[in-house]
Amino acid sequence: MDFHRVYYDFPGFHYHHETESNPTPLDFARHCHNHYELIYVTGGRGRYIVEGAQYGMSPGTLLLLRPREFHYVELEPGTPYERYVLHFDENTLAGSAEVILTPFLDKPLGEGNFYTETEVPAGVCDIFERMDDLQVLHPEQRELMLRLMTTELLILLSTAAPAPKLPDCEQLGARVIKYLNENISRPIGLDELARRFFVSKYYLCRAFKEHNGVSVHGYITGKRVMLAKLLMDRGETASVAAYRVGFGDYSSFYRAYKKYVGRSPSAK
C-alpha cells in the first residue's frame, strides 16, 4: 500500500496529513473521543456518519467533530483517501476557546458538522498546506504556529453555513440515537426502547446497526466510557465516574474502559 504522512504530536494537539492509495475499511473503526477533530478531505469518495446523520464525502469537503460524537467513514472501494486531520482540545486554541467554539457547540449532535466544497471558506486549504511546511521549524515554534493556525481555521468556519444532513437521518436509527444521548447516564434496555419506538427488539437492533454501523449496546457503552474518562480527567475517581455515567458495576466498567481506551482506568 502506497502511503504518505506528515505527523506532529503535542500535548492536547495532534496533526497529520495522510494519503493512502488503497485504504482498508477496517482501518476506520466506529468510535468517539473526548477531543475535537477536524478532517479536510482532498482525495477519496464515500460518506461520513455522525451520530446517525449521513453526509456525502468527496474532495474538498470538511468535517468538524465535537467531543463524544460517535462517527465513522465508509469509503468507496478502490478510491485513494487523502485528508488533513487535526485533533485538539479547547486548551490548544490561541484565543478565547469559549468564544471560538460556541458557534459549533450550540447545535444538536450530528448536526452542523459538515461543509461541502462550495461551503468551505476560501483560505482553509492554504492553511492546511502551510501546516505541512512547519516541519522546518523548531518544535516549540511549530506548536505555537499550529495553535494560531487552528484558531484561524475555526474562526473561518464559524462564518460559514454547514451543509444539511442527508434526508434519511430522521429514520429510526437516528431517532433512537437522539433518545440515547438524552438519557445516556440512566439504565436503558432494549425492552424500553422497543416500547418507546413501537417496534420489536429485533427490528430496532437491526435498524440501529444498519443506520449507525454499531450495535445499541456498543453505542451506549462507548459513549459512557468517554464520559467517564472525561470525569476522571477532571479529578473524579474511576468508581464514582463509572457510577455517574450509568455503569451498574465496576467490573463491567473496567472491561469496557480497557476495550475502548486500551488501558485500565488506573493506568496513566
What residues contact residue 202 under an 8 Å CB cut-off, 6+ apart? none
> Quick check: 30 pLDDT over 50?
yes
Reported as a single tens digit per residue, the pLDDT across 137-156 is 999 999 999 999 999 999 88
The whole-angstrom separation of Cα 174 and Cα 188 is: 16
Angle at 56 between CA 25 and CA 216, to 5 degrees: 60
DSSP H helical ranges for 121-164: 124-132, 139-158
3-state secondary structure of 82: strand
The whole-angstrom separation of Cα 151 and Cα 154 is: 5
The whole-angstrom separation of Cα 13 and Cα 94 is: 12
Nearest CA-CA partner of 29 in 242, 171, 182, 222: 222
- Report residue 205: phi and psi, to 5°: -65, -40
Give the pLDDT of residue 55: 86
Would you place residue 198 in the very low, low, confident or very high pLDDT band (cuts 50, 70, 90)?
confident
Would you place residue 16 in the very low, low, confident or very high pLDDT band (cuts 50, 70, 90)?
very high
Give the pLDDT of residue 267: 74
- Report residue 79: phi and psi, to 5°: -105, 130
The whole-angstrom separation of Cα 187 and Cα 49 is: 26
If you average pLDDT over each of 124-133, 179-188, 206-215, which comes out highest?
A: 124-133
Would you place residue 225 in the very low, low, confident or very high pLDDT band (cuts 50, 70, 90)?
very high
The whole-angstrom separation of Cα 258 and Cα 263 is: 5
Give the pLDDT of residue 165: 60
The secondary structure of residue 8, as a DSSP letter, is E
Helices (H) and strands (E) in the chain, counts: 9, 9
DSSP string, 10-71: ETTEEEEEEEESS--GGGS--B--SSEEEEEEEE--EEEEETTEEEEE-TT-EEEEPTT--E
Neighbouring C-beta atoms of residue 54, cutoff 10 Å: 21
> Quick check: 219 pLDDT over 70?
yes
In Å, how far from its chain's centre is CA 265?
22
Reported as a single tens digit per residue, the pLDDT across 60-88 is 999 999 998 888 888 888 888 999 999 99
The whole-model pTM stands at 0.74
* Cα dihedral sign, 221-50-40-23: positive
Give the pLDDT of residue 26: 64
Give the pLDDT of residue 3: 53
Of the candidate ranges 75-79, 118-122, 161-165, 201-205, the one whose mean pLDDT is the lowest: 161-165
